[in-house]
Homo-oligomer: A and B are copies of this chain.
Amino acid sequence: MPDATDSRQPRKLTMQDVARAAGVSPMTVSNCFRYPERVQEKTRTQVLKVAAELGYVPNLSAGLLAAGTSRVIGAVLPSMRNSSFYRYTAGLREAAAERGYAVITMIAETPAEELSAVQTLLGLRVAGLALIAGPHARELKRMVELSSTPVVEAWAGEDAIGRGVGYDVGAASAELTRHLIAQGRRRIGFVDVAGGGGMRYSMRLPAFRREMFSAGLSDDLVMTVRAADGFGAGAQIIDGFLARDRRIDAVLCPTDVVAAGAIFECNRRGLAVPGEIAVAGWGDYDIGRQITPTLTTVAPFSDAIGRGAVSMLLDGGSGRGAEPLRTAFNVLPREST
């Protein structure tokens, strides 16, 4: 049986194989990938060519084990449904790519899932971990602290796990409230959001109350929805507020999607927006630009949050408990107010 062992199952390709094929030592191959400038142009070109022909892809795990560092950043997201997070990850990816890092993300919809995602990422020994503010599992904080991996928490305030990065939600809420007051609105309803994501926005309501108080207006018109309701919350909101005060003249919604739902409901009822009632959203989602009337909203520049996260992770130094990085926001007045 001459050919018995010849059934060429493409045995796993190692750096050794590439080295042999290129007639250099394994270390030279390693250097070609990791520190190209250490290798003479000619040698490098040759080695890389051979590697490509063979279809060699360096084993990052082995490299990590040997070197103790990887060039991968891990990000955990609570969901992907929302365009703020989309831009956030885009910011992460751009900033990471500029420094030669890759970003891997894991979705986690519950604190328990988040914990297990963090375990996986820590197990992979990522160079940095980017979390999103929200309710966390109790063990999470201790776990990341013990890991000595740099961690940032996006959309976080003072009490962040790791370092915080985000815009000043309270200031944005205050500015948006002042905008409505300046437009002559007097009976302003505020929609709060309960549950997970709510944590990221807990400063909205107090800031609203403060501004209303300063202007001598009532801050009673507050109701709570679950963010998950999306468009569907619109009817509920308009119903609820009208039942409490027929003459309500403005509504502050927790997201543009909820605000769009509210506007759809106003249309159905023949309530003129912004003639009879103004509606403001939050987050600068696509939909806010497309509906009629266009939606007044707060632009969070989420990509800047992502970029900031990467820079804190990678050059953040040992800033234990350093104060959060504040990114910019912008109140965008449009047709709906």
Contact = CB atoms under 8 A, between A and B. Distances in A.
Given A61-B61, A123-B60, A116 B93 contact: no
Nearest to A77: B80
A10 B292 contact: no
A65 B124 CA distance: 12
A295 interface: no
A244 interface: no
A255 to B, nearest CB: 13
Interface string A121-145: 0111100000000000001001101
Given A106-B104, A107-B105, A86 B93 contact: no
A320 interface: no
A85 interface: yes
A66 to B, nearest CB: 9
A316 interface: no
A81 B72 contact: no
B103 A106 contact: yes
A50 to B, nearest CB: 13
A314 to B, nearest CB: 17
A55 B142 contact: yes
A120 B290 contact: no
A27 interface: no
B290 A230 contact: yes
B65 A61 contact: yes
B65 A146 contact: no
A268 B292 contact: yes
Nearest to A230: B286
A111 interface: no
A62 interface: yes
Given A10-B146, A80-B80, A116-B102, A60 B124 contact: yes
Given A55-B147, A60-B120, A231 B107 contact: no
Contacts of A116: 102
A139 B81 CA distance: 32
A58 B54 CA distance: 32
A64 interface: yes
Contacts of A291: 231, 264
Contacts of A308: none
Contact of A102 (B12, B85, B117): B117
A104 B143 CA distance: 20
25 contacts: A12-B148, A52-B139, A55-B147, A57-B119, A57-B147, A58-B123, A59-B123, A60-B61, A60-B120, A60-B125, A61-B61, A61-B62, A61-B125, A62-B65, A72-B120, A93-B107, A102-B117, A102-B120, A104-B120, A105-B105, A124-B124, A231-B291, A261-B290, A264-B291, A287-B287
